[in-house]
Structure 1
């Protein structure tokens, strides 16, 4: 087994180390979500934490790690008698992104359950992680139903597996740690809220600190065991401190003054529900225990807010997590409690993990204000293309709106999502089939129907059916999939009227918001001047697409053919990477083609490539004015798709039309 990188050897990342240690002290805090760019020691720090956890006593032979002092009465391997047990290190179990539901929660042998009437249960990763750490790398790429199962188990401290009337329950209490790179997509706000703490990590910009990072990593790679031995004393010190803080935790007093500050802070930042208040209270208590105090101080409440609230302030998919620290300090000052300052002094304010005090200046972007992702007009934009007198700077998008549902026709088999029909493992049952491989979703009626005609030949004598493998039927289910929504946006001079382009950007932003909610991948191709560019390759980060859209300048000719050909090339490459994910191409244009020789004929030939391959497409017609040429409609015909105007794109315009018809009938 490879020697893990020592936790205390991680350079910087004070907030990350502190958040992990607080959960080690008090698992009730609810886990940690670590957000940050690639190469910032997220995974290294999490994997190193397991070495700092105290050993756990388990019942010998129990696959569910029952505590011998208080065994789980519903343990599938039980019942166990209380008594002495065997000690082993705390486990760190890693959940792969591509794991199945059965691998996570465990699997019942349904064939044995039907034929023999026994509960043959194979534990999953939730059972393995009981009383240890469950680590999910790239948690934002995990399927939604797996995230729901994972967070439900973390909240209840137990896992339930129920299949066709057979149920198994076992304890599943673990420290949940997830890491993610926001560039690859965000978690839904309701899932963000289920993580107790969140930490933003970034690589240091200080040359000396970067040098130390490289020096330590090279030394570890050359001799992992020798490097770990040099940090053994520091590791032992932190391990002892975790044990001491756990023992002190029940004695920590959370006074009324601190509770008022917690409640006032959550109210001031308008967080939804009461989970934030509870998490802040548990975090502040853990901070006091980690600092060796028995009273919670204002500094504990402040640090708890910085760790527990930023991700709960995310109201809009295009908002960045953050907290206005000046406002936080004003709230704490206004509601300072009478019991503040009564606790003992911190015996070790500069101990491992940053203690319970203020965050260090280089601790990463915990604050930064409650700001949106959108930059000001012109910020972060692409280099301006030269040679066009009509070129304009970027304009801000109009306010987004709820769009009508755009979907891909037919039935796919892509990644789980919420846009188009697909054959999935979860959804409504539409039929039955013979299982391919292990049986997971039994279709009971079809199984009984297949077995019934053979009962006499099989010598059935009792009340139960005689079931054989060939009788088993798998449920065929239909749900929804996520698609690749590829935007081809016309940014030419014919679209460059500022008010009009603002409306166009608002429409695309609305479609991006819809793509976020439906769990799609998105890509952005823009065309103007003399060619087309891939402003954003296909990604799950809708936020990144919104930023690129805002900074998009306009002007020049309309190379419509170049834009379509570039989009076609993007789709070709993406099919090689993700062949099961179907695409929806959204062309946002007024239909004019003015760039290059024979622009109209070239655009038509390019459009027919999509039609020949059966790619679903929608043209958002941006033409305005009293005289309309209908070129966008002609383009939609060449693409084999449909055309909608900006007004028709609004879902409320359809609702308004229906209401108008109903009101006229009533009159």
Structure 2
């Protein structure tokens, strides 16, 4: 352990986060588990617990002077710093933080291009993955990580190595680390491929027990008042926990995973309908680590139960909008169904179902233990599809099963943030040109363009032999075309003029289908509703489409139609969004029958608001929900003309064609 003066908030002083602490400790005991993802609302000590973990981890033996932390007992023969001639030294465990805004060069490392061109030498500058080797790599707000960095992490996690390739030169080095991520689900979901790479996941919430909240406040205030004294009070507990980690690591190779335990894990994973085999493997490794942590040499049912609670919640097959988590009753039923019966004494010692010593059997009383009444926090209604709706019956129209939506895109290439929707000039993608570098700006250099830029100046720079004299001003950066993400803002008429629940249900089904597409493409979405006398921002622009679906499903209808207020509120949302994220282009989807019944000159004011939006260059779609039967006023079509928007009659084209109309929308 390190000196108390160097420590932060003690790991053992964290209050009310037992599941989180257990997951981190098991990942420390067995790095093969694959790391931990921590999901939770703001202010729940997620980052505090992660940063505190390193203070109780055992030191790491490394080759002295090796930038890649090679193990002196088995140095990597392909390490860029090999051959290793120095002796091994012990250094503290390392926690490397990866900022969500980091560049690819900062993560992977980079080649010194100017020296490579001018001196003909390859000089590699290691990145964050090299620093994290044999340690912890921590990504706060991991769900906001750019896709190109996600790809880098996926490659490193799969191969255990990091590779830097640039202009024909390749450098590779070991990169095995425990990946720890924290995120707030309301800010957007995690890319499925990266989610699956986390071995364990924990959902944390602030306790609603006043006594626990008091204890949290007391501990934090005491730490802030006198950090040294506070840390000193936990020094003994920290040392004991650090020693327990070392003992568990040494016991880990001796833990027996019986055939009965393996079969139980397989049956539990099958019961939760998980994809692939990674869930089974991670659950098995976690069960072994839990047994070692508990001081046992044989995996028991309690170890399997603890492992399943941490390894399966993010792997069970579910609708993207279903609430995460594991149903405790279903888990207990799966454990009971898969636990071998106690051997009958009359059967003798050769009972083929015995499974060996400790072969998955345990005290029968433990099988009947009730699930934690606070675990998961899900009611039976919420355990099903999130599309079922949660508002009082008779006031809210529910949607039907969503369908696959086609691509929403804008024709002209933008310069937005990297995504998977519209064409844009981004940091990743195919090279379409080059440009001058501004100052010491980072980015991927364009080799040929850099050479062309430097070539005319060789005589003036005194270069007469082989090689190339390159200045910083010669470096040209590659211009790349990829895909950008967009903001899809739904402006939904929730007034009584929307008519029957069936028609509103069709509208909701169409919007939910578009939200499903946005989820898969990691777009930002927002929801504005208008009814009665005002418009409401039901959901500010966010990456959490799960939250958008919940807000949409609980949306009731009734009252007058403040159409102008809805358009003005949408305009205000887009104005603020443009300030916060100016590179993300919006698409406004207005769902209405065109009626305006609130206030004087209601429809005239609505048309003025529409005209103003059109002059701002906002791409939009108007979905006409006016009934096909009876007299049709055609007000939504007039509104679409004022907006310069794509017009769609919901009654004619049904919900499926809503997707087609939005897909075919092109920017003005």
- Per the TM superposition, whether the score is higher than 0.5 is yes
Structure-2 residue corresponding to 1:65: 69
**Residues 15 and 479 of structure 1: CA distance in aligned 2, closer, same or farther (over 3 Å):** same
Q: Does 1:251 find its partner at 2:254?
A: yes
**Residues 139 and 380 of structure 1: CA distance in aligned 2, closer, same or farther (over 3 Å):** farther
Contact 1:423/1:477 (8 A) holds in 2: yes
Residue in structure 1 matching 2:27, options 23, 29, 37: 23
Q: Deviations over 1:45-101 (max 9, x none)?
A: 1111001100112222222222222222222222203x6322111111111121111
Q: Quote the Cα distance in structure 2 between the aligned partners of 1:25 and 1:579.
A: 45
**Residues 345 and 509 of structure 1: CA distance in aligned 2, closer, same or farther (over 3 Å):** closer
Structure-2 residue corresponding to 1:100: 103
Q: Quote the Cα distance in structure 1 between the aligned partners of 2:390 and 2:258.
A: 50
Residue in structure 2 matching 1:371, options 383, 408, 417: 383
Q: Which moved more, 1:408-417 or 1:631-640?
A: 408-417
SS at match of 1:313: coil
Q: Quote the Cα distance in structure 2 between the aligned partners of 1:526 and 1:47.
A: 42
Deviation at 1:503, TM superposition (A): 0.4
Q: Which moved more, 1:537-546 or 1:145-154?
A: 145-154
**Residues 129 and 259 of structure 1: CA distance in aligned 2, closer, same or farther (over 3 Å):** same
Structure-2 residue corresponding to 1:424: 426
Structure-1 residue corresponding to 2:665: none
1:342-353 equivalences under 5 Å are: 342-343=357-358
Q: Which moved more, 1:460-469 or 1:39-48?
A: 460-469
Q: Quote the Cα distance in structure 1 between the aligned partners of 2:566 and 2:554.
A: 18
Deviation at 1:303, TM superposition (A): 1.4
**Residues 378 and 252 of structure 1: CA distance in aligned 2, closer, same or farther (over 3 Å):** closer
1:8-157 equivalences under 5 Å are: 8-81=12-85, 84-157=87-160
Q: Quote the Cα distance in structure 2 between the aligned partners of 1:548 and 1:380.
A: 14
Q: Quote the Cα distance in structure 1 between the aligned partners of 2:88 and 2:377.
A: 43
Q: Quote the Cα distance in structure 1 between the aligned partners of 2:9 and 2:392.
A: 37
Structure-2 residue corresponding to 1:402: 404
Structure-2 residue corresponding to 1:581: 584
Q: Quote the Cα distance in structure 1 between the aligned partners of 2:514 and 2:47.
A: 34
Deviation at 1:640, TM superposition (A): 2.0
- TM-score, with length taken from structure 2: 0.89
Structure-2 residue corresponding to 1:231: 234
SS at match of 1:312: coil
Structure-1 residue corresponding to 2:347: none
Contact 2:328/2:375 (8 A) holds in 1: no
Structure-2 residue corresponding to 1:476: 479
SS at match of 2:429: strand
Residue in structure 2 matching 1:186, options 177, 185, 189: 189
Residue in structure 2 matching 1:639, options 625, 643, 650: 643
Deviation at 1:406, TM superposition (A): 2.7
Contact 2:100/2:145 (8 A) holds in 1: yes
1:176-575 equivalences under 5 Å are: 176-337=179-340, 338=353, 342-343=357-358, 361=372, 364-365=375-376, 371-372=383-384, 374=386, 377-379=389-391, 393-436=395-438, 437-438=440-441, 440-451=443-454, 467-575=470-578
Contact 1:584/1:616 (8 A) holds in 2: yes
Q: Which moved more, 1:461-470 or 1:53-62?
A: 461-470
Residue in structure 2 matching 1:624, options 623, 627, 650: 627
Q: Deviations over 1:455-474 (max 9, x none)?
A: 67777766655555444322
Q: Which moved more, 1:167-176 or 1:638-647?
A: 638-647
Q: Quote the Cα distance in structure 1 between the aligned partners of 2:377 and 2:29.
A: 21
SS at match of 1:489: strand
1:643-654 equivalences under 5 Å are: 643-646=647-650, 647=653, 650=656
Deviation at 1:532, TM superposition (A): 0.9
Q: Does 1:605 find its partner at 2:608?
A: yes
Contact 1:32/1:176 (8 A) holds in 2: yes
Q: Deviations over 1:501-538 (max 9, x none)?
A: 00011111111112222221111110111121111111
Deviation at 1:14, TM superposition (A): 1.2
**Residues 367 and 359 of structure 1: CA distance in aligned 2, closer, same or farther (over 3 Å):** farther
Q: Deviations over 1:465-512 (max 9, x none)?
A: 555544432211111111121111011112131100000111111111
Contact 2:398/2:508 (8 A) holds in 1: yes
Deviation at 1:228, TM superposition (A): 0.8
Deviation at 1:230, TM superposition (A): 0.3
**Residues 364 and 340 of structure 1: CA distance in aligned 2, closer, same or farther (over 3 Å):** farther
Q: Deviations over 1:390-411 (max 9, x none)?
A: xx61111122122343323433
Contact 1:306/1:366 (8 A) holds in 2: no
**Residues 2 and 423 of structure 1: CA distance in aligned 2, closer, same or farther (over 3 Å):** farther
Q: Which moved more, 1:48-57 or 1:577-586?
A: 577-586
Structure-1 residue corresponding to 2:349: none
**Residues 464 and 214 of structure 1: CA distance in aligned 2, closer, same or farther (over 3 Å):** same
Q: Quote the Cα distance in structure 2 between the aligned partners of 1:366 and 1:174.
A: 32
Q: Quote the Cα distance in structure 2 between the aligned partners of 1:294 and 1:629.
A: 77
Contact 2:258/2:356 (8 A) holds in 1: no
Q: Quote the Cα distance in structure 2 between the aligned partners of 1:532 and 1:270.
A: 42
Q: Quote the Cα distance in structure 1 between the aligned partners of 2:141 and 2:71.
A: 31
Contact 2:19/2:202 (8 A) holds in 1: yes
Q: Does 1:614 find its partner at 2:620?
A: no
Deviation at 1:242, TM superposition (A): 0.3
Structure-1 residue corresponding to 2:350: none
Q: Which moved more, 1:153-162 or 1:217-226?
A: 153-162
Contact 2:15/2:216 (8 A) holds in 1: yes
Contact 1:493/1:554 (8 A) holds in 2: yes
Q: Quote the Cα distance in structure 1 between the aligned partners of 2:527 and 2:659.
A: 26
Q: Please provide the CA RMSD for this pair.
A: 2.8
**Residues 153 and 494 of structure 1: CA distance in aligned 2, closer, same or farther (over 3 Å):** same
Deviation at 1:173, TM superposition (A): 1.6
Contact 1:407/1:584 (8 A) holds in 2: no
Q: Deviations over 1:159-183 (max 9, x none)?
A: 1111111111111121111011111
Q: Quote the Cα distance in structure 2 between the aligned partners of 1:575 and 1:609.
A: 16
Deviation at 1:235, TM superposition (A): 0.6
The number of equivalent residue pairs is 635
SS at match of 1:61: coil
Q: Quote the Cα distance in structure 1 between the aligned partners of 2:213 and 2:387.
A: 29
